[in-house]
C-alpha cells in the first residue's frame, strides 16, 4: 500500500513538473501582438534589403503568377530618398520576364526586353508633370465622411501601431513553419466584421502572416477565403542590412535599346487623353446591353470616343468609335475569325474560355470596337444594336 501511494505521489510530481515546463515554454513564445510589435521594430532597423519573392494572385476573372528579385537601400537620393531595384524572374505573362525597374533615389529606368525599350527620367523633371496629372483628380475624394485622415491619431511607436491594428483585426498565433530556409511563426489576422466596410464584410476572408522567429522579419503574407480572390507573397530568400553595393541601383543601357524619355511620354499621354468634346461624326448608341450593365465614363482618346460599361463582380466592357485606325491582335486572344457585322466584314478575337472577346470592324472611314468581359455572342449583339 505504501509503495502504491509513493508511486502515485511520484507520478503526480512528474505531471506537475511537465505542466510547469509546458507553461514556461508557452510564456517564452511571444504573443501575437508582441510578435507584430517585434516585426515593426525590426523593420525600423532596416537600412538595406534583398529578397526573392514568389507572388500568386487569383481573382474571379484572372490568375497572375510571378517571381521577383528585389533590392532596396535607404538614404541614397540627394534628399535622402530610397533606392530600389526590381527584376522579373518569371511571370505568367511571358512578355514581362526580364523587365527591370531601377532608381537611385533620383534617376530611374524601366527596361522592357520584350519591347527592347527603356523609359528613363528623374524626379525633378517628372514632379511638375505628375502634379499636373494629379490636379485633374482634385476634389474627387471627399474625406468629410466617417474617415478623415487628418483627424486620425497617428501611432508614435510600434506598440501603438499594433494596438491600432488590433482595433480592426483579431490576431492569434497559428503554428510555426519553414519559410525561406528559416523557422517562422504563423499569425492569423481576422477582420472584426463591425469595423469593416460593407463590401469587405460581405466578401469575408482573413490574413496569414509568417514572421521569422529570430527577428520577426515578415517572410510571407496571404489573403485567403475571400470572395474577392486569393493572394500570397512568399519570400524564398530574405536578407537585411547586408551592405548592398550602390552599383546595384544604376542601370546600363543595352546596346541597340530604344530610349524613351519619361517626361515626353507623360506629356504625350496628357495630350492623348483629351477631355470629351463634340465628336465630328455621328455617335452611335447601343440599344441592347447585358443585364446589369451600367454606363460609366465616356472619354475621347485621340479622335475616338470610348464609352465604358461596368458589370457586376468588377467586370467591364467598352464600345469605341472614331476614324479608322490599325489594331493589333490582343495578347490574350487565342483565336480570331472573320465575321459579318452590320453588313460588313469584321474580326472577332476571343481568349481560351471565350470569357473575353473583342469585335472590330470599319464602316467607310469610321472604326468601331466592342470588347471586354463578354462572350462572342454578346459583343456581336451589342454591335448589331448600335444606332
- 10-residue block means of pLDDT along the chain (387 residues)? 51 48 51 93 95 89 88 92 94 89 91 89 71 55 47 82 92 92 94 82 86 94 88 95 95 91 69 52 86 82 80 85 71 84 91 88 88 91 91
> What's the pTM?
0.63
Cell numbers for 266? 507623360
Output the pLDDT for position 135. Answer: 59
Output the pLDDT for position 145. Answer: 44
Residues 39 and 116 placed together within one structural domain of the fold: yes
Residues 255 and 305 placed together within one structural domain of the fold: no
Instruction: Name every residue whose Cβ is closer than 8 Å to that of residue 182 and which is 6 or more positions away in sequence.
Output: 212, 213, 214, 219, 238
Domain boundary among 266, 291, 323: 266
Total domains, the chain: 2
Residues 127 and 226 placed together within one structural domain of the fold: yes
Q: Is residue 13 part of a domain?
A: no
- Closest alpha carbon to 62 in 273, 326, 386, 373: 373
Q: Is residue 233 part of a domain?
A: yes
Q: Is residue 9 part of a domain?
A: no
Domain that includes residue 190, residue range: 32-132+149-266
Q: How many CB atoms lie within 10 A of CB 343?
A: 8
Domain boundary among 249, 266, 283: 266
Residues 298 and 233 placed together within one structural domain of the fold: no
CA–CA distance, 58 with 54 (Å, rounded to integer): 14
Cell numbers 490574413 correspond to 207
- Closest alpha carbon to 351 in 369, 370, 379, 331: 331
Q: Is residue 155 part of a domain?
A: yes
Output the pLDDT for position 302. Answer: 64
Angle at 143 between CA 137 and CA 147, to 5 degrees: 140
CB 183 within 8 A of CB 158: no
Residue 221 CA to its chain's centroid (Å): 13
Residues 255 and 281 placed together within one structural domain of the fold: no
Q: Is residue 62 part of a domain?
A: yes
CATH value at residue 317: 3.30.200
Residues 225 and 303 placed together within one structural domain of the fold: no
CATH value at residue 80: 2.50.20.10
Output the pLDDT for position 278. Answer: 52
Residues 380 and 281 placed together within one structural domain of the fold: yes
Q: Is residue 328 part of a domain?
A: yes
Burial readout 107-144 (b: 16 or more C-beta within 10 A, e: otherwise): bbbbbbbeeeebbbbbbeeeeebeeeeeeeeeeeeeee
Domain boundary among 266, 301, 324: 266
- Closest alpha carbon to 179 in 215, 217, 210: 210
> Strand 229-240 vs strand 48-59: parallel, antiparallel, or unpaired?
antiparallel
> What does each C-alpha distance from 65 to 53, 86, 125 come to in angstroms?
11, 16, 34
Q: Is residue 10 part of a domain?
A: no
Residues 191 and 243 placed together within one structural domain of the fold: yes
Cell numbers for 63? 490568375
Residues 243 and 282 placed together within one structural domain of the fold: no
Residues 283 and 364 placed together within one structural domain of the fold: yes
Q: Is residue 137 part of a domain?
A: no
Residues 238 and 285 placed together within one structural domain of the fold: no
Task: Please give the backbone phi and psi of residue 52, each rounded to the nearest 5 degrees, phi first.
Answer: -115, 125
Q: How many residues does the chain have?
A: 387
Residues 227 and 314 placed together within one structural domain of the fold: no
CA–CA distance, 210 with 39 (Å, rounded to integer): 10
Amino acid at each position: 500500500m505504501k509503495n502504491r501511494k509513493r508511486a502515485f505521489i511520484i507520478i503526480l510530481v512528474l505531471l506537475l513538473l511537465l505542466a510547469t515546463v509546458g507553461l514556461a515554454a508557452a510564456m517564452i513564445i511571444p504573443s501575437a501582438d508582441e510578435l507584430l510589435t517585434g516585426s515593426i521594430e525590426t523593420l525600423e532597423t532596416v537600412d538595406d534589403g534583398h529578397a526573392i519573392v514568389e507572388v500568386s494572385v487569383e481573382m474571379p476573372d484572372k490568375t497572375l503568377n510571378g517571381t521577383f528579385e528585389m533590392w532596396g537601400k535607404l538614404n541614397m537620393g540627394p534628399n535622402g530618398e530610397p533606392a530600389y531595384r526590381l527584376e522579373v524572374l518569371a511571370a505568367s505573362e511571358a512578355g514581362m520576364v526580364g523587365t527591370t525597374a531601377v532608381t537611385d533615389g533620383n534617376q530611374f529606368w524601366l527596361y522592357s526586353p520584350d519591347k527592347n525599350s527603356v523609359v528613363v527620367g528623374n524626379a525633378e523633371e517628372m514632379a511638375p508633370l505628375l502634379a499636373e496629372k494629379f490636379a485633374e483628380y482634385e476634389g474627387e475624394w471627399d474625406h468629410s465622411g466617417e474617415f478623415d485622415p487628418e483627424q486620425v491619431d497617428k501611432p508614435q511607436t510600434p506598440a501603438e501601431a499594433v494596438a491600432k491594428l488590433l482595433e480592426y483585426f483579431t490576431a492569434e498565433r497559428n503554428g510555426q513553419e519553414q519559410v525561406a530556409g528559416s523557422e517562422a511563426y504563423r499569425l492569423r489576422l481576422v477582420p472584426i466584421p463591425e469595423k469593416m466596410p460593407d463590401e469587405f464584410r460581405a466578401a469575408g476572408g482573413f490574413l496569414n502572416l509568417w514572421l521569422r522567429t529570430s527577428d520577426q522579419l515578415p517572410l510571407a503574407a496571404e489573403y485567403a477565403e475571400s470572395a474577392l480572390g486569393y493572394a500570397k507573397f512568399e519570400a524564398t530568400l530574405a536578407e537585411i542590412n547586408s551592405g548592398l553595393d550602390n552599383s546595384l541601383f544604376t542601370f546600363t543601357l543595352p546596346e541597340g535599346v530604344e530610349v524613351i524619355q519619361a517626361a515626353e511620354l507623360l506629356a504625350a499621354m496628357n495630350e492623348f487623353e483629351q477631355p470629351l468634346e463634340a465628336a465630328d461624326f455621328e455617335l452611335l448608341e447601343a440599344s441592347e446591353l447585358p443585364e446589369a450593365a451600367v454606363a460609366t465614363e465616356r472619354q475621347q482618346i485621340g479622335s475616338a470616343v470610348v464609352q465604358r460599361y461596368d458589370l457586376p463582380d468588377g467586370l467591364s466592357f467598352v464600345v469605341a468609335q472614331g476614324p479608322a485606325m490599325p489594331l493589333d491582335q490582343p495578347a490574350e486572344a487565342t483565336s480570331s475569325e472573320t465575321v459579318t457585322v452590320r453588313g460588313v466584314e469584321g474580326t472577332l478575337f476571343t481568349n481560351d474560355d471565350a470569357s473575353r472577346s473583342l469585335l472590330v470592324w470599319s464602316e467607310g472611314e469610321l472604326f468601331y470596337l466592342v470588347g471586354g468581359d463578354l462572350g462572342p455572342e454578346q459583343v456581336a449583339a451589342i454591335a448589331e444594336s448600335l444606332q
